[in-house]
């Protein structure tokens, strides 16, 4: 298939939005907590939902979140830690069915990539990764078919409707250097799953390989994990890379890609400010 000449869409946002430290700083003093996502939606084009990592959310929550933002806003959704950290990807089909039945599909056309964050102890296992990637639904239609197999835990609280059968994107964030194995990259490319480029203050490895038709970046802090702000120089480096991936000039295949970037250096309230600064730099770099 010929590479597209159209530049990719770059979306920059934050990981989560309900942080006490942001109130009276990024959020105006007195802003009701129920309007914080609305405020995020007025300033960014995307956010990473991370509550879904800790527990299965409810359809009414996904519907409420969607109603809080404009139609062009996109939600990335963090996959369940029960799948990644407890099952460690093994025998995950039932858990995947429950995850997709829990309300994720209620986001409709505003559902962005699904993020699968692996624990540090999870080393690359070719057969295991191939099995997991093969079980992931590639479209909302496939996700619905999978969700229909939910178990008793979702009885009375499932969401099985879709607005249209559209492609579904997945990204994986390993924290073991073993995933640099060329066979790991080939598997991800074969399944069209993005390998996350994560900045973690040197705690975990950073992968810059592009393995899908989009790129996914998580910025946890360059010097102090989750705590440090990004300097102007550090943001300029990321802006150049993100702009190049979006335009295709930073990829070996010359293919423009959509790029999703999320700041997770939220402990001291830096994430939203850094996201705004990076967005301005990327806009300038792209003209």
E strands along the chain, which residues?
A: 10-15, 46-49, 74-78, 111-117, 170-173, 194-195, 197-199, 214-219, 258-263
Q: pLDDT tens for residues 200-256?
A: 999 999 999 999 999 999 999 999 999 999 999 999 999 999 999 999 998 778 899
Say what the pLDDT of residue 250 is.
83
Kindly tell me the sign of the dihedral angle through the C-alpha atoms of 75, 148, 156, 116.
Answer: negative
**Under 8 Å between Cβ of 30 and 60:** no
Say what the pLDDT of residue 1 is.
35
Across all residues in the chain, what is the average pLDDT?
Answer: 96
Residue 176, pLDDT > 50, answer yes
Cβ burial, residue 94 (10 Å; 0-12/13-18/19+): middle
- Residue 209's CB: how many other CB atoms inside 10 A? 16
Of the chain, the percentage scoring pLDDT greater than 70 comes to: 98
Domains of the chain, earliest start first = 10-286 (3.20.20.410)
Q: What is the mean pLDDT of the segment spanning 189-204?
A: 97
Q: What is the mean pLDDT of the segment spanning 105-110?
A: 98
Q: What is the mean pLDDT of the segment spanning 123-145?
A: 98
Q: 117 φ, ψ to 5°?
A: -95, 125
**What SS3 class is residue 34?**
helix
Say what the pLDDT of residue 253 is.
85
Q: Name, in order, each residue with C-beta under 8 angstroms of 134's C-beta and a sequence gap of 6 or more.
A: 191
Q: What is the pTM of this model?
A: 0.96
Say what the pLDDT of residue 3 is.
43
Say what the pLDDT of residue 137 is.
98
Q: Name, in order, each residue with C-beta under 8 angstroms of 287's C-beta and a sequence gap of 6 or more.
A: none
If you search the block for the tokens 């492609």, which residue do you land on? 167
Say what the pLDDT of residue 112 is.
98
């Amino acid at each position: 298939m010929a590479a597209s000449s159209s530049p990719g869409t770059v979306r920059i946002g934050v990981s989560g939005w309900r942080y006490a430290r942001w109130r009276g700083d990024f959020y105006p003093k007195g802003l009701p907590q129920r309007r914080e996502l609305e405020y995020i939606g007025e300033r960014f084009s995307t956010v990473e939902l991370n509550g879904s990592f800790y527990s299965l959310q409810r359809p009414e929550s996904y519907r409420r979140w969607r109603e809080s933002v404009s139609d062009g806003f996109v939600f990335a959704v963090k996959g369940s830690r029960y799948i990644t950290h407890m099952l460690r990807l093994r025998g995950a089909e039932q858990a995947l069915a429950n995850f997709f039945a829990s309300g994720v599909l209620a986001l409709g056309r505003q559902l962005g990539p699904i993020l699968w964050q692996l624990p540090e102890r999870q080393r690359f296992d070719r057969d295991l990764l191939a099995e997991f990637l093969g079980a992931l639904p590639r479209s909302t239609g496939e996700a619905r078919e999978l969700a229909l197999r939910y178990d008793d835990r979702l009885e009375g609280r499932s969401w099985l409707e879709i607005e249209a059968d559209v492609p579904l994107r997945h990204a994986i964030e390993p924290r073991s250097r073993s995933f640099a194995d060329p066979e790991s990259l080939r598997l991800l490319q074969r399944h069209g799953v993005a390998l996350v480029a994560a900045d973690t203050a040197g705690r975990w490895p950073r992968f810059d390989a592009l393995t899908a038709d989009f790129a996914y970046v998580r910025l946890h802090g360059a010097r102090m994990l989750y705590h440090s702000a990004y300097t102007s120089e550090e943001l300029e480096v990321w802006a150049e890379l993100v702009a190049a991936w979006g335009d295709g000039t930073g990829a070996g295949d010359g293919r423009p890609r959509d790029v999703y970037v999320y700041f997770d250096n939220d402990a001291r309230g830096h994430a939203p400010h850094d996201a705004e600064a990076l967005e301005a730099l990327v806009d300038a770099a792209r003209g």
